[in-house]
Amino acid sequence: MARYITISLDKRGVTCRARLLDQEAPRTCAAVWDALPQSGDAYHAKYARNEIYALVPSFSDNPPGPENPTVTPIPGDVCYFGFEPWQIGNPAYGYNDGSEAHSGEHVVDLALFYGRNNLLINGDQGWVPGNVFATIEDGLADIAAAAQDLWLRGVEGETLSFRRAD
């Protein structure tokens, strides 16, 4: 039986529904599912193009490792990335000193891609593959419009939340 999550931009009141890809990414799906709900400050990607994400504290003693990876996510892909602080601690990335990026701990980046032509390459790190663990099946157009609004008007005060769906 398929499992679903909701992903919301809370301040903007927009939600989409995504199906977990249990066959393609079982370890990642299990880690995320067991850790839900998760929320964090919303960010819009600088390098990957059409991506919004939240950084949350690591939620698994055994991170899933590479699984169903991509460097070219398509609209509707939901990805998991694990980062050490040194990988995303560059001040040019724009995180505040109190953010999860500077906590001195491993962090998880939960991201969704809402448009085409994404390429996961970072000038400091090179290729940054993400684990595709879910696909948005309902609400992609609405979340894409809200994500574009984040890009144009800013992310301040916005939260990106991931929850189990009924």
CATH number, domain with residue 109 = 2.40.100.20
Contact 81, 107 (CB under 8 A): no
Q: What is the pLDDT of residue 95?
A: 62
Q: What is the pLDDT of residue 26?
A: 98
Q: What is the pLDDT of residue 92?
A: 65
5 DSSP β-pair partners: 18, 164
Q: Which domain holds residue 72?
A: 4-164
Q: What is the pLDDT of residue 44?
A: 94
Q: What is the pLDDT of residue 104?
A: 64
Determine whether 42 is exposed, middle or buried from the number of CB atoms within 10 Å of its CB (0-12, 13-18, 19+): buried
Per residue in 70-104, pLDDT tens? 999 999 999 999 988 777 766 666 665 555 555 66
Q: What is the pLDDT of residue 120?
A: 94
Q: What is the pLDDT of residue 20?
A: 98
Q: What is the pLDDT of residue 124?
A: 80
Q: Which residues of the chain have pLDDT under 50?
A: none
- Number of folded domains in the chain? 1
For residue 2, what are its two tokens? 């398929």
Contact 115, 50 (CB under 8 A): yes
